[in-house]
Amino acid sequence: FQRRGALAVAFSTFYALSGFVIAYSWNIMWLDALVLLPVVLLALIRQMRDGKWLLYPVALALLLITNYYIAFFACVFIALYYPILLARYTPDRQLANRALTFGKTAVLTIMGVALSAILLYPAFRSLALTSASGDKFPAAVELIGKPLTYLGQLFPFLQPTIRSGAPNLYCGLPILLLIPIYFISNRIGLREKIMNGLLLLFLFLSFETNVLNFVWHGMHYPNQLPYRYSFVVILLLLTIAYDGLRSTREFRATELGLLGLCLAFIIPVVVALDPEMKVSPWTQWGAIALMLIYMVLFSSFQSRKYNRRLHVNILLGVMLIEIALSTFSGIYHIDRNEYFGNRDGYSAGSTVNSIREAVNRVEQLNQADKFYRMEVRPHKTSNDPCLYGYNGLSLFASTSPKAPVDFFSNVGLQNNGINSYQYRGSTLFLDSLFDIKYVIAREDTVFNEVERFIVLGNDLITVYQNPYVFPLGFMADGTILDFSSSKANPFRSQNDLADAISGEEVELFDVLLHDPVSGSALSAPGQGGALFRYTSGTGIAGRTHNVSWTATKSAPHYLSLDMRGHAVDKVEVVIEDRAIPIEGSKKGVFELGTVAESEEIELEISVSETETESGDFEVRIASLDREVMWELAQQAQREGLKLNIMEDDHFAGQIYPKKDGLLVLSIPYDPGWTAYIDGVPTEIETIDGALMAIPVEAGVHDIFFAFLPVGFHTGLYITLASVGTLLLIIFWGFVFKRYIKPRHNNRESEIEDFAESSGFSLENGESAAESVYPEFRQKQWRFSKKDDFVDDNAGEAIDEDGTFEERLFPNLVDAETASNSSPDEEEDEKVTSDTEP
């Protein structure tokens, strides 16, 4: 719009503190792209309108590099919005000129994408390995059927949508007034209204339609955090609303007042018709009061009784108060309703300081050990190793390959089945296999911890060391390549993996038989079964079901539980006088500690009263054989990889196997790894698609592994080629401006001197070349009548004073300027191309 001032700042603030930003303010990696999207649009407009092209490819590349995921939504929106910009900012309607502008934009877009190829291409190759790449396209088109929900999301003071619900669309209550004004304004061209209206309709249909929503999310169903592209709708709404603000002068005070009253009445109607809206009574009344205030302010702009600048300042103040209150409201709701609102023990505090101090102390104790892992229990986030600065197993990343996620799920580690695996549900065997040497307990251990021994501790944390830990790489039998994990039973999967490592059946885990079940409320499975069926009665007692086992030997015991989606109020395991709480909503393995022989293990499940009367759950308890565990650990340590170099992207060491076999690495597989044995590249095998292994012959060998993302070199070459092309274009522009253009001007002077000496007379504004060579005369734009000029420029807002009438008939409109100005014209200044940022 080439305008700046107080109200421009207000609309910018609406974008910066929109409902989307507040809802996902914790997801800071998304926010940079929201900042850069308006910059890319500005650069695109400069390229089309002024021919200033350099900023566009640079800004686009920066957008893509900053966050390629949010940049995908932004780029789709830019592509959809481009025809509107092309129609508005090209200097004329000639098809050839617009085609030329489009061609330039396409070339610059390719250049911007190529500049970011060093990141985009490896990311594209990695995403092909994730679970998201396998999502199936919707079989049928489905509509949600809740259009009023989207209108309600424009109201202030709402509880932000985070896990599930409607899109976050709030961006200031004035847009409800200004968007209708935009579409009924005579100042704005019909073509522009139609194009903006169709784009807005398409975006709202994207919320409403499963197919469009699927496409918007990159051919993927998002895991929580719905409608992640809603910020582009906010940007479009604010753009349309600001254009509508400049048209308020066309309407009488009574018309604006009637519109405001209708909208104030609509607010409670929408809330009443949509029971899923998270709205409190004060939220409704606050929105109604604000709408009435805006109605009064916009209506009174037509009166000559009030000082215009004071009026604009009052409007600005109300806008800023609204967005401030809405921001505080959103933060309050997030703090109250989201688990990350509980910051106690997150990244600061006594417990966190103790954890970080323990990490440092452990490093001092293991200066000779090149690599080991550690974990914190219970976890605080899905990325605790990143949060507290240690080498761990837990990882939550959008680019996590699918195969390792499935593997960890099958052996009992709890995860979302999509892109994460966490240190929840581990066993002593898995801890040892993945080189988890230390466990930091940030709470008192409720089970009997015997196998690990304490090395550090204070009143807040305790550090346990695992004596069974495997090295990062160890030799295993070649049959391990045939191992395949199973979803059915995590203990069976771990037993099979232990057998594959040792090359023989070792029976690491022994599944216990449950004690006889009494009563009719619980139906026990057959011998060795694990599926229990229940029928709930009334009251807490009727909804509580118990299963018990008796330990056959003194050993570490583990519980495997799957409630099959049934909600529970409480799940607890009681061993003698120890009560161990179980997170029943999660499927996985739970550590019960060391249980003495003949001790009873009782599982108590309280089904939620919201559940149906009958259902089923799957439960197993298994003991771990200490002797087998010790033999496996000794075998791995005897022929383990002795590291002498360990860096983030490579490591090296020696190994001394006594016989041919496979060197197994407890590193999740990624195709970016390259292996070398004695300097010779070696093909990497995979174990269940999740772990890496290479064949090694008996003898002494040097082992080297290096990591480079797949496609990195290709992306690097594309980026370097694009940078080189960009620099050549810039250099050519400099040479042309510095050397070629001055020579052309000198030639013009010579022609002019020749024309004067030859008796040619130059007309006003005519160049010498046009005089001497008439065929080079430049065509000038002329308009034969006022209607042609108005029609070609309607709604473009390119005139110096903001209206076409002022340019065409200055004497007629000067007297009306004071009484018919719009709010933004009172405050904003027109920005010419010379002062454009």
- Per-residue model confidence as pLDDT tens digits over 650-676: 999 999 999 999 999 999 999 999 999
Please state the domain count of the chain.
5
Tell me: do 752 and 823 sit in the same domain: no
What's the mean pLDDT in 633-638? 94
Distance CA 44, CA 89 (A): 10
Distance CA 337, CA 552 (A): 45
86 in a domain, yes or no?
Answer: yes
Kindly tell me if the per-residue pLDDT of 276 is higher than 90.
no
Cis (ω within 30 of 0) for the bond into 378?
yes
702 in Cβ contact with 679 (< 8 Å): yes
Task: Enter the tokens of residue 279.
Answer: 């709205």
Distance CA 486, CA 484 (A): 7
Task: State how far the alpha carbon of 377 is from the alpha carbons of 339, 427, 442, 443, 808, in Å.
Answer: 17, 13, 6, 8, 75
Task: State how far the alpha carbon of 435 is from the alpha carbons of 75, 333, 639, 686, in Å.
Answer: 43, 41, 15, 19
Tell me: do 204 and 57 sit in the same domain: yes
Start-end of H helices in 681-801: 712-735, 741-758, 768-772, 786-793
Domain boundary among the residues 606, 624, 642 is at 624
What's the mean pLDDT in 51-70? 95
Tell me: do 419 and 323 sit in the same domain: no
Tell me: do 21 and 108 sit in the same domain: yes
Domain boundary among the residues 584, 601, 624 is at 624
Cα torsion for 260, 266, 268, 271, to the nearest 10°? Answer: -130
Distance CA 715, CA 107 (A): 18
Instruction: Summarize pLDDT for 239-259 with one digit per residue, the tens.
Output: 999 999 988 888 888 889 999
Higher-scoring residue by pLDDT: 784, 372: 372
pLDDT score of 834: 39
What's the mean pLDDT in 285-296? 93
Residue 640 gets which letter from DSSP?
B
173 by Cβ neighbours in 10 Å (0-12 / 13-18 / 19+) ranks as buried
Tell me: do 74 and 197 sit in the same domain: yes
84 CB-side CA count, 13 A: 21
496 in a domain, yes or no?
Answer: no
Q: How confident is the model at residue 783 (pLDDT cuts 50, 70, 90)?
A: very low
pLDDT score of 758: 59
Q: Say which range, 196-205, 331-340, 470-479, has the weakest mean pLDDT.
A: 331-340
Instruction: Summarize pLDDT for 104-134 with one digit per residue, the tens.
Output: 999 999 999 999 999 999 999 988 888 777 6
Start-end of H helices in 602-711: 626-638
Q: How confident is the model at residue 18 (pLDDT cuts 50, 70, 90)?
A: very high
Tell me: do 436 and 322 sit in the same domain: no
Tell me: do 265 and 373 sit in the same domain: no
Distance CA 599, CA 416 (A): 34
654 in a domain, yes or no?
Answer: no
Phi, psi of 734 (to 5 degrees): -65, -45
769 in Cβ contact with 748 (< 8 Å): yes
Which contacts qualify for 672-679: CB closer than 8 Å, 24 or more apart? 672/707, 672/708, 672/709, 672/710, 672/712, 673/705, 673/706, 673/707, 674/705, 674/706, 674/707, 674/708, 675/703, 675/704, 675/705, 676/703, 676/704, 676/705, 676/706, 677/701, 677/702, 677/703, 678/702, 679/704
Beta-ladder partners of 705: 651, 675
Q: To the nearest whole number, what is the mean pLDDT of the chain?
A: 85
Using only C-alpha atoms, the chain has a radius of gyration, in whole angstroms, of 35
Task: State how far the alpha carbon of 736 is from the alpha carbons of 360, 592, 730, 744, 778, in Å.
Answer: 60, 78, 10, 10, 22
Distance CA 370, CA 141 (A): 55
**Which three-class secondary structure state does DSSP give residue 556?**
strand
Tell me: do 281 and 417 sit in the same domain: no
Distance CA 655, CA 473 (A): 9
Kindly tell me if the per-residue pLDDT of 817 is higher than 70.
no
Buried b (16+ CB within 10 A) or exposed e, 284-306: bebbbebbebbbebbbbbbeeee
826 CB-side CA count, 13 A: 25
556 CB-side CA count, 13 A: 21
Q: How confident is the model at residue 833 (pLDDT cuts 50, 70, 90)?
A: very low
Beta-ladder partners of 673: 707
Task: Enter the tokens of residue 359.
Answer: 């990490």
614 in a domain, yes or no?
Answer: yes
**Which three-class secondary structure state does DSSP give residue 303?**
coil
Distance CA 494, CA 428 (A): 11
436 in Cβ contact with 633 (< 8 Å): no
Residue 514 belongs to domain with CATH number = 2.60.120
Specify the DSSP element, H or E, that contains 36.
helix 28-50
Which residue type occupies 220?
A: H
Kindly tell me if the per-residue pLDDT of 778 is higher than 60.
no
pLDDT score of 789: 34
Tell me: do 111 and 178 sit in the same domain: yes
Distance CA 143, CA 136 (A): 18
Tell me: do 436 and 577 sit in the same domain: no
664 in Cβ contact with 473 (< 8 Å): yes
Kindly tell me if the per-residue pLDDT of 800 is higher than 50.
no
What's the mean pLDDT in 607-628? 90
21 in a domain, yes or no?
Answer: yes
What's the mean pLDDT in 622-651? 95
Which residue type occupies 828?
A: D
Beta-ladder partners of 531: 618
672 in a domain, yes or no?
Answer: no
241 in a domain, yes or no?
Answer: yes
Instruction: Summarize pLDDT for 307-328 with one digit per residue, the tens.
Output: 778 888 899 999 999 999 999 9
484 in a domain, yes or no?
Answer: no
Distance CA 708, CA 672 (A): 5
**Which three-class secondary structure state does DSSP give residue 334?**
helix
Start-end of H helices in 51-154: 55-66, 68-89, 95-115, 117-127, 147-152
Distance CA 369, CA 472 (A): 11
- Residues in Cβ contact with 79 at an 8 Å cutoff, skipping those fewer than 6 apart: none
Instruction: Summarize pLDDT for 685-731 with one digit per residue, the tens.
Output: 999 999 999 999 999 999 999 999 999 999 999 999 999 999 999 99
Residues in the chain: 837
Distance CA 655, CA 592 (A): 36
Higher-scoring residue by pLDDT: 787, 623: 623
Kindly tell me if the per-residue pLDDT of 522 is higher than 90.
no
Q: Where are the beta strands (DSSP E) in 563-684?
A: 568-575, 578-581, 588-595, 600-607, 614-624, 642-646, 650-655, 661-668, 673-677, 680-682
Domain span at residue 760 reads 720-774
Distance CA 442, CA 545 (A): 31
pTM of the predicted model as reported, rounded to 2 decimal places: 0.82
Distance CA 603, CA 585 (A): 15
- Closest to 425 measured CA to CA, from 621, 537, 586, 281: 586
Tell me: do 739 and 770 sit in the same domain: yes
Distance CA 356, CA 350 (A): 10
Domain boundary among the residues 624, 645, 668 is at 624
405 in Cβ contact with 131 (< 8 Å): yes
256 CB-side CA count, 13 A: 29
Tell me: do 307 and 376 sit in the same domain: no
**Which three-class secondary structure state does DSSP give residue 524?**
coil
